[in-house]
Amino acid sequence: MDIHSALVEFKAHPGVTGIFSDLDGTLSAIARTPESASITPNVRETLTILNEKYKVVGIVSGRSSDDAKRMVGLDDLLYIGSHGLEWIEGGRRHYAPQVKKYFGMAPSLYNELSDYFAKTDIRVEKKNLGAALHYRLAADKDAALALIEPVVEKMLVKYPMKVVRGRFVVDLNPDVALDKGDTIIAVCMREGLANVLYIGDDVTDIDAFRALRKLEETENVKAVSVVVASDEAAAEVAEEADFSLAGVGEVAALLRWLAE
């Protein structure tokens, strides 16, 4: 069965279907810096149509929900940020209850990391609940990661954080038992979704792929997971998905087909 055949029922019953997608590397091409990433006007238009047609359209990102919303530029979508720890829905931001104690820690963590890496080509990103270390611009990525690792270990002693690794990025997030998959499951159950599609490209999306499998096995939900293939992605990402797309262009084409 090809991906379009697998999604025929989704397209036929939009009122009980949810479409969830990662952002960087999925809806937008990976950029040199987080700030320079963008989605195309065509993708933005497609998301608008999808949101009018389907029960739920959600953007799921390691970025903060505010930053994801800024990048997409649409008010009415569901934005799940910080790998599932906070989200914007109906124009209001929400936080998982167990992360609220981290509000005061994030600025201090960011400042310390900024001091450590001020004279390097490692970029420190400030987040509401933690921080991220980007080393895509490093001339020697292995050397950059070797520099990052001991600093991260020091931070983990001082702050109750956990490490989430992605494509040339190391996130320090609140050490709570919550991820993209848990938040997607909560949305699906609350909205009574019968069909769920998730598209992602990185190791952090494995949690979402597994959550969809759990929904299918325990809640009689039809679920389809799609990986966006990349030379940078770990092999296990593709192994966890049902289907594969060659790049952001194919993602855009699939979403346009669903919007028709």
Task: Give residue-wise pLDDT tens across range 188-225.
Answer: 999 999 999 999 998 989 999 999 999 999 998 999 99
CA–CA separation, 104 and 116 (whole Å): 20
CA–CA separation, 105 and 204 (whole Å): 23
- pLDDT for residue 233 is more than 80: no
- In this prediction, residue 61 carries a pLDDT of 95
- Output the six-digit token pair for 223: 């679920």
228 in helix, strand or coil? strand
DSSP states along 58-121: EEE-SS-HHHHHHHH--SSSEEEEGGGTEEEETTEEEE-GGGGGGTTHHHHHHHHHHHHTTTSS
User: Which phi and psi angles does 108 have, rounded to 5°?
Assistant: -65, -45
SS (H, E, C) 235-253: HHHHHHCCEEECCHHHHHH
- In this prediction, residue 44 carries a pLDDT of 98
Domain limits, the chain:
3-96+178-259, 100-174
- In this prediction, residue 33 carries a pLDDT of 85
- Output the six-digit token pair for 254: 């699939």
The larger pLDDT score, comparing residue 6 to residue 128, is at 6
Strand 195-200 vs strand 222-228: parallel, antiparallel, or unpaired?
Answer: parallel
Share of the chain above pLDDT 70, in %: 100
CA–CA separation, 127 and 82 (whole Å): 8
Going by C-beta distance under 8 Å and a sequence separation of 6 or more, which residues neighbour residue 210? Answer: 181, 240
Topology of domain 100-174 in CATH is Alpha-Beta Plaits (3.30.70)
Query: Does 3-96+178-259 match 100-174 in CATH topology?
Result: no
H/E stretch holding 168 reads: none
- Output the six-digit token pair for 70: 């800024």
Going by C-beta distance under 8 Å and a sequence separation of 6 or more, which residues neighbour residue 227? Answer: 199, 200, 201, 205, 209, 233, 237, 238, 240, 241, 243, 244, 245
Residue with tokens 């038992």: 177
Q: How many CB atoms lie within 10 A of CB 230?
A: 18
Q: 2-6, 12-16, 101-105, 159-163: lowest mean pLDDT where?
A: 101-105
Q: What pTM does this model have?
A: 0.93
- pLDDT for residue 87 is more than 80: yes
- In this prediction, residue 29 carries a pLDDT of 92
- In this prediction, residue 226 carries a pLDDT of 97
Cβ atoms of 21 and 59 closer than 8 Å: yes
Q: What is the CATH number that goes with domain 3-96+178-259?
A: 3.40.50.1000
| C-alpha separations of 122 from 24, 101, 136, 229 in Å | 19, 28, 8, 26
Tally the residues of the chain. 260
For the segment 242-256, the average pLDDT, to the nearest whole number, is 97
- pLDDT for residue 231 is more than 80: no
- pLDDT for residue 160 is more than 90: yes
For the segment 146-165, the average pLDDT, to the nearest whole number, is 96
Its sign, for the CA torsion 183, 148, 200, 252, is positive
- pLDDT for residue 237 is more than 90: no
- What pLDDT digit, counting tens, does each position of 97-116 carry? 999 888 889 999 999 999 99
232 in helix, strand or coil? coil
- In this prediction, residue 255 carries a pLDDT of 99
- In this prediction, residue 230 carries a pLDDT of 83
